[in-house]
Structure 1
Amino acid sequence: MEKPKFKVIIVGGSVAGQTLSLALEKANIDYVLLEKYETFAPEVGASIGVFANGMRVLDQLGLSNEIETRTEPIVFMNKRDEKGNTFDSNDIFDKLTDRHGYTINFMERKDLLAVMYAAQPNKSKLLCNKRVDSIEQGDNGVKVTTSDGSEYEGDIVVGADGVWSKVRQMMWNAMDADKTLTKDMAKDLAKDKTVLTCEYACVFGISYNVTGIQPGHNNVVFRHGSSFLIIAGKNGTVYWFYFEKLDKKYAVPNLPRYTEEDAIKTCEKHLDAIIAENITFRDLWINRKSAIKVALEEGIMRRWHYSRFVVLGDAAHKMTPNMGQGGNSAIESAAILSNCLKSALDKNSQQLNSKQIDECLSLYQSERRKRIKSVYTRAGDATRMEAMDSMTKVIMARYIIPSLGEKMMLKLIGDLLKDAPSLDFVDKPTRAHLIPYTDEKPKKKSILGF
């Protein structure tokens, strides 16, 4: 009798989840994707920036042209102080396009998810209204039961279901019940349950029909204890963020939660803030489509997998959004997980036993953690620098960074982008770029010649 195909159960139709499903299609690995909402492009009022590191993978998946058609490339940056005075302006973002092949593309998150969903070649594998109720796992596979009573069986379950991942919680439950859990794993589990902290909150907003801010311009307003990030997109759409430092550093389970009224109260205190040339925050506020206030959780899980569970994206690594790398990091992680699964299955006749699954998922985590730690640290530093929360951050923001010069800034940003992974089993993108990506360079031969 022919063995059944290896099957992945993905929980969450997020950017991470849909990237993974598209990649698994390319790898010819079977899967089903379960999404709790009624649609794969829910209206949640959030925006997302896709940088070269994310665009490169999405290009391999056939999405780059559609994304670029829908967006206005970000080419210019203005940095302002609390009084609206410009202390640094540059077109580094435009130069990054030549160096790395892709523009920075900002859009509503629901629009990116819609582009992803439209590109799915086998939509019958993507199921809505499937809220996970339980996960059972054994030596031969996993069974996921949803709240409508449906059951789905596979070899592994992937939690692409966000910072408060239900899959991760169920993985922890399984670890708690494991009487053979090693001391190191038990230590990781204990730390992961308390790793998320919160020191900042953010109001994410989108405004329509805004005039006076040039499309493709990114405005950052540095303030003591808070900051604005204003990104002008296509057809008068502006994506904006108001960051504020909280009264203290919070930790789970006591992270703050906010209502629509909280967002309104926060923003109405700052309507006269100058956020661009002759533009105040009031101009954005009165034209807002949406505004939601959220706590900015920060933390990297020590353990991303156990047995037949594995987590992806925000469920594994949550960072502040000032550098725009949360979504891009999720795309990268989906690519690496796909690479590891494809390689392991090719080496083992398209089937993996429990030991091989553990080796595969361990490789996925080890390949991602070092890079994630670096990006996570830089994102947190950017949040604190823009809010000038110490004298050191003030000096860095106002004097040292503006004095570095264009070449150094291009190198610093380029170092983050050029080390980004791509899909190993799909041809590399053909976009012209001046700086080779690390995985495009020939591998160095050993002293033995191989």
Structure 2
Amino acid sequence: MAASTFKVIVVGGGPVGLVAAHALTKAGIDFTLLERRPHVVIDAGSNLVLTPVGIPALGQLNLRAPLDAVSSPLGRIDRMDHEGNDLGDVQLFSMMKELIGIAPRVISRHDLTRVLYDTLPSEAQKKIFGNKKLSDITSTPTGVIATCADGTSYEGSLVVGTDGAHSLVRDIMRKLALQNGPSEQVNAEHPFLTTYRCLWLRFQRPANVPEGVTCETHGPGLATQLFTGEDSAVAAIYETMEKPTTERPRYTRADQDALIERWGHIPIIAGEGKLTLREAYNSRQESGLVSLEEGVAEHWSWNGRVVLAGDSAHKFTPSTGAGCNHGILDIAALVQQLNAICSKAPNASPSREAIDSALQAYQEKRRNTIVAECDRSSKATAAATWQNGVFKFVDKYVMPRNAVTRFFIGQAAKGAARNPSPNFNFGSSEVQLGKKEAWTASPVMVRAH
């Protein structure tokens, strides 16, 4: 049983933050969750893909059935070039279903956050507060104080930052490290590099395009991914920027329109239901233009008082759908460590030194996998946008081969034997899966291209 005096302050109520609420509840660790929006259930943002990396872990939190009810499985990936010429389909998702029993599923951010919130016990829901924008973190001899922009403050033992790529927690953690002296380990001010921007848009699923379709358009400088759900379709358009930057560009509606002027003729659905990017944009229900940061922060925690998880610690391009899924496994690894040290001090809060050691062990458990997955996602986006002749050749002539897909799945299975993934079965060191799903004990994900 976790220590009654140990308390976690989770900053950020997106999917990873809500998974943290589930995990901490299961471990018996007290928490408060602070979200800058009015509520954690939001009807905004692009859809997400749950992969065989994250799905088994969510099942350990009894979330698989309710999430299956509001998500759609993905099958064949239909691919074409900028002129609509067939590039050959990729059977990755259907082979995953055939060989391991799990297919990736597409889900709206609204449905994902709604299920994650609604399935929390009522007592846990009472620990979640909206309209709480973080303004500062103060380290004290016994813990931390998180102060919000509205003047309220919350005391705890540890702040967990799940507040995304533009993390305030990460910025404040850096400030605390700098204030603590020149010997402190300090992250770069801008730890992520942006090479691509992404226009995402949601629109009504065309009547002649079935649910569960995945279409991709590849070519020099731009790639698209489209997923169809029960009622809507979501497209992501990845454009190579003029030059990479560590700064955060701010985009407007005019920037979205300008991208459509450049690329509106590109087909995003081929065949009988042919649809161009411009047609989809003109019928959109919602859209946004964002930077696609990439990278892994060097330091994920500070002094046993602050720790990062998910996009706050590492950011991938979305091509492989890995970001949210690896954020889920971050939480599993982190809460495993916290549960272990709390169990050793059942009547008191663990010492700062014990917490710091647990946070270092969490990063050590996850970092190599995360670095490899970040590289894998980057290469997938580079291949889809034909960044050079080698990427173009592999994308056009190697990836459509079923033997290649089977090879990648086999490599993932071998990785599972070497590196079981963290899990939410606290006290167990391995994911408990059926024989057919055993490879998903590895957080390694095969490229989607």
Q: Considering the TM-score relative to the shorter chain, is it more than 0.5?
A: yes
Structure 2 distance, partners of 1:115, 1:224, is 39
Q: Does 1:327 align with 2:329?
A: no
Contact 1:47–1:106 under 8 Å retained in 2: yes
Q: How much does 1:107 deviate?
A: 1.7
Show the counterpart of 1:12. 12
Letter of the 1:148 counterpart: D
Q: How much does 1:74 deviate?
A: 0.3
Contact 1:195–1:299 under 8 Å retained in 2: yes
Contact 2:423–2:431 under 8 Å retained in 1: no
Shift in CA distance, 370/429, structure 1 to aligned 2, threshold 3 Å: closer
Q: How much does 1:438 deviate?
A: 7.0
Show the counterpart of 1:368. 366
2:294 aligned counterpart, secondary structure: strand
1:80 aligned counterpart, secondary structure: strand
Contact 1:210–1:287 under 8 Å retained in 2: no
Q: How much does 1:429 deviate?
A: 7.7
Structure 1 distance, partners of 2:405, 2:366, is 29
Q: Does 1:310 align with 2:300?
A: no
Structure 1 distance, partners of 2:89, 2:314, is 32
Structure 1 distance, partners of 2:70, 2:146, is 36
Contact 1:221–1:228 under 8 Å retained in 2: yes
Q: Does 1:344 align with 2:341?
A: yes
Q: Provide the alpha-carbon RMSD of the alignment.
A: 2.2
Show the counterpart of 1:205. 201
Q: How much does 1:283 deviate?
A: 3.9
Shift in CA distance, 244/43, structure 1 to aligned 2, threshold 3 Å: same
Task: Pick the aligned partner of 2:395 from 397, 400, 418.
Answer: 397
Task: Pick the aligned partner of 2:250 from 257, 266, 284.
Answer: 257
Shift in CA distance, 389/416, structure 1 to aligned 2, threshold 3 Å: farther
2:436 aligned counterpart, secondary structure: coil
Show the counterpart of 1:160. 162
Show the counterpart of 1:54. 54
2:89 aligned counterpart, secondary structure: strand
Q: Spell out, residue by residue over 1:369-388, the C-alpha distance to the aligned partner (whole angstroms, 9 max, x if none).
A: 01001110000000110000
Letter of the 1:423 counterpart: F
Q: How much does 1:416 deviate?
A: 7.2
Show the counterpart of 1:80. 80
Contact 1:207–1:238 under 8 Å retained in 2: yes
Structure 1 distance, partners of 2:117, 2:440, is 30
Shift in CA distance, 389/5, structure 1 to aligned 2, threshold 3 Å: same
Structure 2 distance, partners of 1:199, 1:111, is 30
Structure 2 distance, partners of 1:368, 1:56, is 17
1:436 aligned counterpart, secondary structure: helix
Show the counterpart of 2:69. 69
Letter of the 2:204 counterpart: Y
Contact 2:75–2:91 under 8 Å retained in 1: yes
Within 5 Å, give how 1:72-151 maps onto structure 2. 72-121=72-121, 122-151=124-153
Structure 1 distance, partners of 2:137, 2:41, is 25
Contact 2:61–2:424 under 8 Å retained in 1: no
Show the counterpart of 2:446. none
Structure 1 distance, partners of 2:414, 2:285, is 36
Contact 1:304–1:310 under 8 Å retained in 2: yes
Show the counterpart of 1:443. none
* Matched pairs, number: 429
Letter of the 2:350 counterpart: L
Q: Spell out, residue by residue over 1:185-222, the C-alpha distance to the aligned partner (whole angstroms, 9 max, x if none).
A: 44xx2x52232111110101111142332321211111
Structure 2 distance, partners of 1:412, 1:94, is 17
Structure 1 distance, partners of 2:95, 2:326, is 22
Q: Spell out, residue by residue over 1:11-53, the C-alpha distance to the aligned partner (whole angstroms, 9 max, x if none).
A: 1101111111100100001111011110112233321111111
Q: How much does 1:426 deviate?
A: 7.6
Q: How much does 1:95 deviate?
A: 2.5
Q: Which moved more, 1:416-425 or 1:76-85?
A: 416-425
Show the counterpart of 1:266. 259
Structure 1 distance, partners of 2:207, 2:45, is 21
1:215 aligned counterpart, secondary structure: coil
Structure 2 distance, partners of 1:131, 1:269, is 37
Show the counterpart of 1:277. 271
Q: Which moved more, 1:398-407 or 1:314-323?
A: 398-407
Contact 1:6–1:155 under 8 Å retained in 2: yes
Structure 2 distance, partners of 1:439, 1:101, is 13
Structure 1 distance, partners of 2:441, 2:222, is 38
| Structure 1 gap segments, 5+ residues each | 441-450
Show the counterpart of 1:173. 175
Structure 2 distance, partners of 1:413, 1:211, is 37
Show the counterpart of 1:408. 407
Structure 1 distance, partners of 2:48, 2:302, is 30
Shift in CA distance, 137/105, structure 1 to aligned 2, threshold 3 Å: same
Structure 2 distance, partners of 1:401, 1:102, is 21
Structure 2 distance, partners of 1:386, 1:132, is 38
Q: How much does 1:424 deviate?
A: 3.3
| Structure 2 gap segments, 5+ residues each | 443-449
Q: Does 1:425 align with 2:426?
A: yes
Q: How much does 1:265 deviate?
A: 2.2
Letter of the 2:200 counterpart: F
Shift in CA distance, 212/412, structure 1 to aligned 2, threshold 3 Å: farther
Q: How much does 1:271 deviate?
A: 3.0
Letter of the 1:365 counterpart: Q
Structure 2 distance, partners of 1:325, 1:13, is 19
Show the counterpart of 1:448. none
Shift in CA distance, 284/430, structure 1 to aligned 2, threshold 3 Å: farther
Q: How much does 1:231 deviate?
A: 1.1
Quote the sequence identity (%): 26
Letter of the 2:235 counterpart: W
Q: How much does 1:412 deviate?
A: 4.6
Q: How much does 1:319 deviate?
A: 1.0
Q: Spell out, residue by residue over 1:358-405, the C-alpha distance to the aligned partner (whole angstroms, 9 max, x if none).
A: 100000110010100111000000011000011111111112333444
Structure 2 distance, partners of 1:317, 1:171, is 15
Show the counterpart of 1:446. none
